[in-house]
Structure 1
Amino acid sequence: MSVRSVVVGVDHSCPDLPRRAAGLVQALGGSLVELVCVWVDETSVASGGFAVSVDPDIVVSDDAYGADPLLGLERSMRDVGLPWSAVRAVGDPARELARVADEVGAAMIVVGARRTGLRGWASHLVGGTVAGRLSHDQRRPVVVLPPALDH
């Protein structure tokens, strides 16, 4: 039997999403699944093989992941019970999640629900939600997990 991949979008506003995605996969009996956690830096673009900040004045917030989201992810996923890997990408989150899903032959993509508040509303007006854009452009299922009840 081969291992299937599930791509999970990592977002500062929902730091427990990868663990909850692992729980969903396990609840569905997915013991032969690897989670591929993708963190997309929306404040940078790819240029000549390097990530270049769109706004050099942007400061990384002091949130659950800390300054390096992949190090925070390592702490969060330590005892998740499934194999997982992390990928750092830059640019448009929907496009990058789809690209990684294509690269790994993912069975599905898991993302969090739209951000609440002004930032979520503004993002929705400007470009739509990541989940919405993915669901219209994907051949694979897109699962949207709502915020955890303890938030």
Structure 2
Amino acid sequence: MRSVVVGVDHKHPDLARRAASLVQSLGGSLIELVCVWVDETAVSDSRGFTVSVDPDIAVSSDAYGADVLAGLNRAMADVGLPWCALRGAGDPAAELVRVADEVGAAMIVVGSRRPGLRSWATNLVGGTVAGRLVHSQPRPVVVLPEPATAP
């Protein structure tokens, strides 16, 4: 079975479902979606222990991560493809590449850059996750745009 790595976050839990639709429209029924949520406020040590570097996020309750997984479970309830969810820490582009390498992913799917000041500042300093992946990957990177909103 081939894998497709999908970067997900708490603001766009439907991205994995849209990635599944894309895979299915291309005839990919023997594909597993590996949904990766990367906590940018955390770092992992060599033993896999993850710690938040943001003092405003309480790591012990892990409510932030639980919200992401709950949204993903709702979005993927009837998707019709096998899928799993993984949690990463640190740099989203590096984590998506690491997971894609581990599972031998055929491609990586990410969402487009979000509007807003924080997104603009992040893009200015380090570039977008999609842009960094496109320029560093031997595998295809698919950037799904935000769905159009009704007028």
Q: TM-score, normalised by structure 2?
A: 0.90
Equivalences for 1:48-63 in 2 at 5 Å? 48-58=47-57
Unaligned runs of 5+ in 2: none
Equivalences for 1:8-47 in 2 at 5 Å? 8-47=6-45
Which residue number in structure 1 is paired with residue 124 of structure 2?
A: 125
Letter in 2 for 1:77: M
Which residue number in structure 2 is paired with residue 94 of structure 1?
A: 93
The CA RMSD over aligned residues, in Å, is: 1.8
Letter in 2 for 1:108: M
Per the TM alignment, residue 59 of structure 1 is displaced from its structure 2 partner at its CA by 6.7
8 Å contact kept, 1:131–1:144: yes
Query: Larger deviation: 9-18 or 114-123?
Result: 9-18
8 Å contact kept, 2:10–2:67: no
Per the TM alignment, residue 136 of structure 1 is displaced from its structure 2 partner at its CA by 0.8
What number of residue pairs does the alignment pair up?
145
8 Å contact kept, 2:14–2:72: no
Equivalences for 1:105-144 in 2 at 5 Å? 105-144=104-143
The 3-state SS of whatever aligns with 2:32 is strand
The 3-state SS of whatever aligns with 2:118 is helix
**Residue 59 to residue 52, structure 1, CA distance change in 2 (3 Å):** closer
**Residue 85 to residue 66, structure 1, CA distance change in 2 (3 Å):** closer
Letter in 1 for 2:87: R
Q: Provide the rounded CA distance (Å) in 2 between the counterparts of 1:23 and 1:59.
A: 35
Per the TM alignment, residue 66 of structure 1 is displaced from its structure 2 partner at its CA by 8.0
4+ long deviations beyond 3 Å = none
Letter in 2 for 1:71: A
Percent identity among equivalent residues? Answer: 74
Per the TM alignment, residue 146 of structure 1 is displaced from its structure 2 partner at its CA by 0.2
Q: TM-score, normalised by structure 1?
A: 0.90
Deviation per CA, 1:90-119, whole angstroms, max 9, x where unpaired? 000000000000000000000000111111
Query: Larger deviation: 68-77 or 92-101?
Result: 68-77
Q: Provide the rounded CA distance (Å) in 1 between the counterparts of 2:135 and 2:125.
A: 17
Per the TM alignment, residue 13 of structure 1 is displaced from its structure 2 partner at its CA by 2.8
Unaligned runs of 5+ in 1: none
Per the TM alignment, residue 56 of structure 1 is displaced from its structure 2 partner at its CA by 1.7
Q: Provide the rounded CA distance (Å) in 1 between the counterparts of 2:107 and 2:58.
A: 32
